[in-house]
A and B are shown apart, each in its own frame.
Chain A
Amino acid sequence: MKNQVYLYPIWVRLWHLLNALLFLTLIVTGLSLQYSSNDYSLIRFDWAISIHDIAGIALCVAYIFYLFSNRFTSNGTYYQFHLTGMLVRVLKQLRYYSIGIFKNEDAPYPISIDRKFNPLQKISYVIVMYVFMPIIVITGTALFFPEILPTDLFGISGIHIVDLIHIVTGFALSIFMAVHIYFCTIGKTALANFKSMINGWH
């Protein structure tokens, strides 16, 4: 473990693993529901509904746990950022990923015990966890209790609007998932970051 820092405590790793599994489950079942058909079906509709519901409830619980843990442990500090100079820092990181990485340049914001995320990671994680996640959790909860939704919202069915928001947010999170998994291969080796999320050491 020489030259390595212990960045991911056990609760972060367990939460992250659970979150990842639930995310994948929700994406697959969500796609199956959205593109359900009489002729072909990824997962049987009623099974997909049940699995999606259970995974969604579990994701809500995991998300509440995450919010409380970030509030009461030092992990939350990694998500704090200053707007001043943020754009410059993000662009610098973007330049590294699109040009510098191919010239074997050093990463502009190397990971340390004080900086778990580079600026691009930080801004994307904040948007995902503090903007998209609340939206998908709230809309998902509303769709779980469709009777509470207004039948008419600006001339359109409440379920229709909420479902559209839910699906579009789910799509954005799916894009994040694909990019996130790929970016995890950018480490000392292609599997280094995945190992870090297992043993906690970076």
Chain B
Amino acid sequence: MKKLLFINLIVLFSTFLIAQEITDESVEHSPENSKCFYCHGNPTYSFYNEILERNVTNRMNPYLIIDSALYYYQNHSSFECIDCHSYGFKTFPHDNELQMEAMPGCFDCHEGDDEVYNFAKIDQQFQESVHSTKHSQDFTCWMCHNPHTYKINARNNQNLLETIVYDNNICLSCHADINKYQLISSDKNPNIIEKHDWLPNQISHFAHVRCIECHTDTSNNILVAHKVQTKDKAVRKCVECHSQNSILMSSLYKFQAIEKRNKYGFFNASTLDDSYIIGANRNYYLNVLSGLIFGFVLLLIFIHAVLRIFIK
């Protein structure tokens, strides 16, 4: 119960974080979008029913309601709705046939966009991931990256704990929501809390590392690994993270880990602002000092013992 409450708090917390910095005034927004939000930003919509020959008000499908505040905060906030959706949606009431049209994917625009984000590598990793191999075409980028709200986080956010919450919520949006999970699977959604029962200090781990740290094959070419692997390949050995050569340095702390040991002599010092990892954050100077002190004490004992044996 405590753990479920914790996950709920994470979701609430992330919503709060997003809501805090909700507007980005530097990006121009299309005024045309307001016509869409007039209906799709509200729980109800009205139209003239030609059969009844009067105005009627209906409930909007909750999955079709777009929060304009979140929309104008996300990566593609400058987009006009019909940049992705069919031009036919400009006509209202919409033609029902339009719903059957295929939606564009990330690579329809981003193919070849490899300099900054390395989409080619992302695509390759995704194709090799369990999400793609197990679910085929049903699993698109939009399953994780909500096109109306997704904002790049790991690259821009200085607060790593916020990034962890944001990124984990992407996984939880399916793995903690049976309705979305069953869009692509008829399996029973595994209970994340029970599946991770073996993990000591589960709450602390969930709050300080992302799911992908253990569940993906990390790559040097992209910031966020996309090759989600089967559960039997997930990291289970504690020392993978709890050691000087912690894998977190090549994933979660990749871009912060430029320095190796420059913050008061701590190994993997870049983690210290957000968490303390036993075994990974030992201090170089304390190590040397403690070794010298212990060696000195043992030397004194040895000399004393030798003198006792030979002088007595």
Residues of A near any B CB (own CB < 8 A): 33-38, 41, 45-46, 49, 97, 101-102, 104, 146-147, 156-157, 159-160, 163-164, 167-168, 171, 174-175, 178-179, 182, 185-186
Contact = CB atoms under 8 A, between A and B. Distances in A.
Given A102-B311, A104-B312, A159-B275, A175 B245 contact: no
Interface stretch (B128-136, B169-177, B278-286): B278-286
A171 B278 contact: no
The binding surface of chain A is classed by DSSP as helix
B243 A38 contact: yes
Contacts of B243: 36-38
Contacts of A182: 301, 304-305
A45 B241 CA distance: 11
Interface residues of B, number: 35
B200 A174 contact: no
Please list the 6 inter-chain residue pairs (A to B) with the smallest Cβ-Cβ separation, ordered nearest first.
Answer: A45-B238, A36-B279, A160-B276, A159-B276, A102-B311, A182-B301
B9 interface: no
Nearest to A156: B272
Contacts, number: 80
B52 interface: no
Interface in B232-288: 237-240, 242-245, 272-276, 278-279, 281-283, 286
B279 A45 contact: yes
A167 B278 CA distance: 11
B282 A34 contact: yes
A36 B243 CA distance: 5
A156 B308 CA distance: 48
B297 interface: yes
Contacts of B278: 33-34, 36, 163
B294 A175 contact: yes
A35 B282 contact: yes
Contacts of B274: 157
Contacts of B276: 157, 159-160, 163
Contacts of A101: 308
Contacts of A33: 242, 278-279
B248 to A, nearest CB: 13
A49 B297 contact: no
A171 B278 CA distance: 16
29 contacts: A33-B278, A33-B279, A34-B282, A36-B242, A36-B279, A37-B239, A37-B243, A37-B244, A38-B237, A38-B239, A45-B237, A45-B242, A101-B308, A102-B311, A146-B201, A147-B203, A157-B274, A160-B272, A160-B281, A164-B283, A167-B286, A168-B286, A175-B293, A175-B294, A178-B297, A178-B301, A179-B297, A182-B304, A182-B305
A174 B298 CA distance: 12
B170 to A, nearest CB: 23
Contacts of B307: 102
Nearest to B238: A45
Given A175-B294, A178-B301, A38 B275 contact: no
